[in-house]
Structure 1
Amino acid sequence: MMPDLDVAVVGAGMAGLTAADELARSGLSVRVFETGEQVGGRMAGFRHRGYTVDTGAEQISPSGYRATWELLARLGFRDRDVPRLGGRISVWRGRRARPGVAEARGMLTGAGLGLRGRADLARFQAWARRHRHLFDGDHPETSPLGTTTLAELGGRYHRDLHDYLLQPVAGTFFGWDPQRSAAAPMVSLLLDVGDASRWRTYRGGMDTAARMLAARLDVRTGQTVRQVVSGTGSAQLLTDAGAVSARAVLLCVPAPVAARLHANPTEQEARYLAAATFHPAVKVSCLLHRPLAPRGGKSTYVLLTPAVADGALSAIIFDHRKHPDRAPAGAGLLTLMPARAATASMLDRADSDVAGTLTAAAERYLPGLAGATWRTFVHRFPHGLPEATPAVLRQRAGFAARPTGPVDFAGDWVLQRPSSEAAVRSGALAASRTRAHLSSRAAVPVRVR
């Protein structure tokens, strides 16, 4: 029987949309299935009364994001469409914000590190520069750090390096526990993206590229895929709307979701899917009557709150500093991120409880926050970010070398690189693998269902 599609893509995040676009441009019939009502996945966003709210990823870099910039060029983005961030990354220490985290000039200002911490940071940076050629963001398992955890790496240096740099950066941007996550993916990524003062965001919201891709694709939102079965030369999807057959299926969802959906993965795929663990993420957006800033950090875009100083929050993001279009003139927009240890418990709590807990904790850094806030929104991601544990790094090389088949995968977890660039890059990789798998077969027409 003739399949309904050449390729069915499950998940309308950046990985799925990138893969679908690549395959559609090759002349294949492609359909994207998305459980949610909007596209973007962990790069989604929404608009509310003049505010533009980014619910997931926050920024990109001009360095280390090759696949993203190639995609943006195809979509017609210009330089002004991806402006520089309007603020700096700071860390809280000694009752004030200390700017300069992940910047070269942070060595001069301290960026929250004491003298011994700065000296050890310089020592670590010198080591990283000498070994730069051995770090590959697409293959973190090959780096000289091997399966060393972040905590083990931090233990080689003054405690400031762990407490005021590695832990807060990993905890905020990756949702990681330094005891669980390997250092290599984070170090590889930081080497690739370079100085934080050069990072950028999307004008109009971080979901801009996702919305543009979806507009030119066959995307079915609000349609849940329940199961995917790999067959001989094709695959079958069971959706809420019925069964769909395709010559190939791409599972562009977090690894735990892919493991649940895929009825018959190979043994190698099953091992990697089981090892590719995730940690949840929660964010609270606070819409403010007026902009606020922390003491010592009027130019701050992200305020990191280290675990040694705060057990409730991991960071405050000042979205109105990120770009002026995020909030109306004279207003403010913040994102509150809970500490890792508190995140899982917030998945099932009432929105009002979660927002109340985090806004109360943030008053320490922003006196008057409660009075300035007129609306809050809570965003939950049960599968927030890949943990990049030593266990999954040990499985990654074998998974990357697996043969192609009727079911393949895409997502940042494929590369164990928690970033939107990894989503885009893995989507392009999955499209290439799928084209290779289908190369001996002609495209089929889409059958109207």
Structure 2
Amino acid sequence: MTVDLDVAVVGAGIGGLAAATGLAEAGLSVRVFEAADRVGGRMASFRRAGYTVDEGAEQLSTRGYRATWELIRRAGIRRDEVPPIGKRVAVWREGVAHPGLSEPGAVLTGAGLSKRARIDLVRFLAAIRDPRRFDADRPEWTPIGTRTVADYARGFHPDLHDYLFQAVAGCFFGWDTGRSAMAPFACLLREIGPASCWVTYRDGMDTLARRLAGNLDVVTGRAVREVVGGTDLARVVFDDETVTARSVLLCVPAPVAARLYVNAPEADAEFLAACAFRPMLKVSCFLDRPLAVKTSRPAYVLLTPSAEEDVLSGLVIDHEKHPERAPAGAGLVSLLASPRVVPELFDAADDDVVQALVDSGERFAPGLAGATVRNFVHRFRHGLPEATPEALRLRAGFAARPIGTVDYAGDWVLLRPSSEGAVRSAATTVSRVLSRLDSVRGAA
């Protein structure tokens, strides 16, 4: 059978582009196939009328993102292109926005937590301080086991769940704390550091993806129908042709990988089935003036816990995140739907989604509706990996799987819902592919 490529990569999110970069730098012929008309996946951005909108991911950290920063340097992105946000995260409680939730001083200032809850916050931070027991690349190793966030939180003051764990998990990950495992969440909280460490890409969160794609063979608007693994080669099947490759990388969400890989090994299929994803729904509001959430110190994110709010999980004040997200004198606000309402709103008409989220947003940012000149709805059916207890139980076995002609990269591989998770998994997959191809060539 004719071989078209050394490696075919399915998916041009950050995981797929990182893997393709590593393999291309090793001298292999690599092509990336992306169903959408742009690269970036859940880190995509779009630009219109002077606004830059991050459709999915919002920020990264100077802590806990070692592989991402290495890739940023390799891509030639300067440090001033990834500036600090410099604003705080606030949480809404009883009609007041309390800033400083993710800062060390929260144990003193409260940041929405009661005095008794602050004592338990100290207990929690002490419990997760050991990086050897709370390794974000191996969450299955933690002493927490497979307990859910809600179950683990029962050992602490209720505020810790209602105004910290649920607020953060619901807004940033879209998680239902009764379904998602605590271990990956605790590892992430330990690793990424306070909001003072958080940064964003000056020109949009897709900056790294666009820079990597510019040096690769990427075909957008090319949907894969199925992938078939073989002993020596694998096939990528489209509606109009079939491409053969020595290796195929599925760099797409686990449910998509499960659908495409028609003859996946049973062990792979079991883990893929356990890796559920949470849908994400977001509305961007172009404003004719900058609005702000009223707080004692400037905040760029307001978390709205489910104990206080049904429709929203949070607001991102994008022009506070970085001033170039909106034209001078204008503003940009993103409204994130609560995990509770996403299932019923996800397939609703755009107008209905906008009305529901903007009406709720008015409570936290008065004048929002009147200042809005245009809205955009962003949907990710596969938003972020849910990190279920079952997936956590199966992860070690999946990590030890044999190397075949079809492999994977993505944040779900590590149950680490972040761009760092995707980049780290890509680095591991590059090593696996090169190891296999070198052994094949050696045998030949």
Same fold (TM over 0.5): yes
1:223–1:240 Cα contact (<8 Å) kept: no
Report the 3-state secondary structure (helix = DSSP H, G, I; strand = E; otherwise coil) of the residue aligned with 2:199.
coil
Aligned to 2:437: 438
Cα distance, 1:441–1:133 mapped onto 2, change above 3 Å: closer
Aligned to 2:272: 273
Aligned to 2:76: 76
Q: Deviations over 1:221-262 (max 9, x none)?
A: 000000000011110111134111111100000000000000
TM norm structure 2: 0.98
2:148–2:181 Cα contact (<8 Å) kept: yes
Aligned residues: 442
Name which of structure 1's ranges 427-436 and 372-381 shifts more when overlaid on structure 2.
427-436
Aligned to 1:399: 398
Deviation at 1:345, TM superposition (A): 2.0
Q: Distance in 2 between matches of 1:169 and 1:328?
A: 29
Q: Distance in 1 between matches of 2:236 and 2:373?
A: 44
Report the 3-state secondary structure (helix = DSSP H, G, I; strand = E; otherwise coil) of the residue aligned with 1:133.
coil
Which amino acid is the alignment partner of residue 311 of structure 2? A
Report the 3-state secondary structure (helix = DSSP H, G, I; strand = E; otherwise coil) of the residue aligned with 1:335.
strand
Deviation at 1:298, TM superposition (A): 5.8
Q: Distance in 2 between matches of 1:394 and 1:248?
A: 28
List aligned pairs for 1:371-386, cutoff 5 A.
Answer: 371-386=370-385
Percent sequence identity is 58
List aligned pairs for 1:106-121, cutoff 5 A.
Answer: 106-121=106-121
Gaps of 5+ in 2: none
Deviation at 1:297, TM superposition (A): 5.5
Q: Deviations over 1:3-44 (max 9, x none)?
A: 100000000000000000100011100000000000000000
Name which of structure 1's ranges 288-297 and 333-342 shifts more when overlaid on structure 2.
288-297
2:231–2:404 Cα contact (<8 Å) kept: no
Aligned to 1:447: none
Q: Distance in 2 between matches of 1:7 and 1:221?
A: 17
Q: Distance in 2 between matches of 1:31 and 1:406?
A: 16
Name which of structure 1's ranges 8-17 and 107-116 shifts more when overlaid on structure 2.
107-116
Report the 3-state secondary structure (helix = DSSP H, G, I; strand = E; otherwise coil) of the residue aligned with 1:413.
helix
Q: Distance in 2 between matches of 1:22 and 1:106?
A: 41
Aligned to 1:90: 90
Which amino acid is the alignment partner of residue 261 of structure 1? L
2:86–2:196 Cα contact (<8 Å) kept: no
Q: Deviations over 1:427-448 (max 9, x none)?
A: 11111111111113459xxxxx
Aligned to 2:165: 166
Aligned to 2:237: 238
Report the 3-state secondary structure (helix = DSSP H, G, I; strand = E; otherwise coil) of the residue aligned with 1:118.
helix
List aligned pairs for 1:293-312, cutoff 5 A.
Answer: 293-296=292-295, 299-312=298-311
Q: Deviations over 1:295-324 (max 9, x none)?
A: 225611110001011110000001101111
Gaps of 5+ in 1: 444-449
1:186 corresponds to 2:179: no
Aligned to 1:100: 100
Q: Distance in 2 between matches of 1:298 and 1:313?
A: 22
Which amino acid is the alignment partner of residue 351 of structure 2? S
Cα distance, 1:297–1:235 mapped onto 2, change above 3 Å: farther
Q: Distance in 2 between matches of 1:123 and 1:116?
A: 11
Which amino acid is the alignment partner of residue 225 of structure 2? R
Aligned to 1:388: 387
List aligned pairs for 1:294-373, cutoff 5 A.
Answer: 294-296=293-295, 299-373=298-372
Aligned to 2:139: 140
2:280–2:380 Cα contact (<8 Å) kept: yes
Which amino acid is the alignment partner of residue 232 of structure 1? T
Q: Deviations over 1:324-344 (max 9, x none)?
A: 111111111011001101112
Q: Distance in 2 between matches of 1:215 and 1:297?
A: 43
TM norm structure 1: 0.97
Q: Distance in 2 between matches of 1:351 and 1:98?
A: 31
Deviation at 1:134, TM superposition (A): 0.8
Aligned to 1:62: 62
Deviation at 1:196, TM superposition (A): 1.5
Deviation at 1:201, TM superposition (A): 0.6
